[in-house]
Amino acid sequence: MTPDQQFWWNWYVLLAGAAANFLVALVALFGERLWKRAFPPKLKIKLLEKYGEKTVAVGERNGQEIRNDVRFFHLQVWNERRRLSPARNAQVFLTHIEEQGPDGRYQVAWTGNVAMRWRDQEIVPVTQTIGAHKDADFFMIGEQTRLLSLMPLIAQFQVRSNEADSETFRVKVAWDGRWEDGDLEMHHHLRVKEA
What are the two backbone dihedrals, phi and then psi, of residue 21, each rounded to the nearest 5 degrees? -60, -40
Among 143, 117, 139, residue whose Cα is nearest residue 57: 143
- Model confidence band, residue 177 (pLDDT cutoffs 50, 70, 90): confident
What are the domain boundaries of the chain? 1-38, 43-194
Residue 100 has pLDDT above 60, yes or no: yes
pTM above 0.85, yes or no: no
Mean pLDDT of 20-40: 75
Residue-wise pLDDT for 132-167, tens only, equals 899 999 988 988 888 878 744 467 788 889 888 999
User: How many whole angstroms separate alpha carbon 192 and alpha carbon 190?
Assistant: 7
pLDDT tens per residue, range 108-127: 988 988 888 899 888 888 88
The arithmetic mean of pLDDT across residues 50-55, rounded, is 92
Question: Considering just the CA atoms, what is the radius of gyration of the chain in Å?
Answer: 26
**Res. 187: pLDDT tops 80:** yes
pLDDT at site 151: 40
pLDDT score at 104: 87
- Tens-digit pLDDT profile for residues 55-94: 998 888 888 888 889 999 999 999 988 777 888 899 999 9
Contacts of 5 (CB under 8 A, 6+ apart): none
